[in-house]
Amino acid sequence: MKTILPKVFLVKIIALAAIFIFLDAVYARDKIYIYSGAGVADAVKAVITSYKKVSPDTGFVTVFASAGDHARQIESGADADVFISADIIWVKYLDDKKLVEKGTAGIFASNELVIVASPNAKNRFKSPEKLLE
């Protein structure tokens, strides 16, 4: 079975690198606070490591949790410069409360889910649609 993980990981790295380049120009301060889901923690950490090679004076504070937790923390005044979420509903939630910089919300990466079944599975299915029955 062919895996797409490396391609997806590369897309995440490139997208996050673009964010950090943007941030360096926008935020001339000691630390950049990144609120992100745990699912992209490795990608965020890899980009930070690479970025620090070209901008060693830039500090980062990363907070990894669910999108809902982050949205509520931001609503309560958390110092988040960047919020990376796989859940557009929470982004809209913050946007509706005027807590998102106008024009900055947008989808910059996407992913695919793959499902397979074990040959030993008790419940057989012929397609993912059958799981909904």
pLDDT, tens only, 113-131: 777 777 887 776 666 676 6
pLDDT confidence bin for 93, thresholds 50/70/90: very high
Domains of the chain are: 5-132 (3.40.190)
The stretch 82-87 carries a mean pLDDT of 87
Say whether pTM exceeds 0.85.
Answer: no
Q: Is the separation of the CB atoms in 37 and 86 below 8 Å? A: yes
Query: What pLDDT score was predicted for residue 72?
Result: 96
Query: What is the structure's pLDDT at 20?
Result: 63
25 SS3 class? helix
Q: Does an H or E element contain 93, and which?
A: helix 88-96
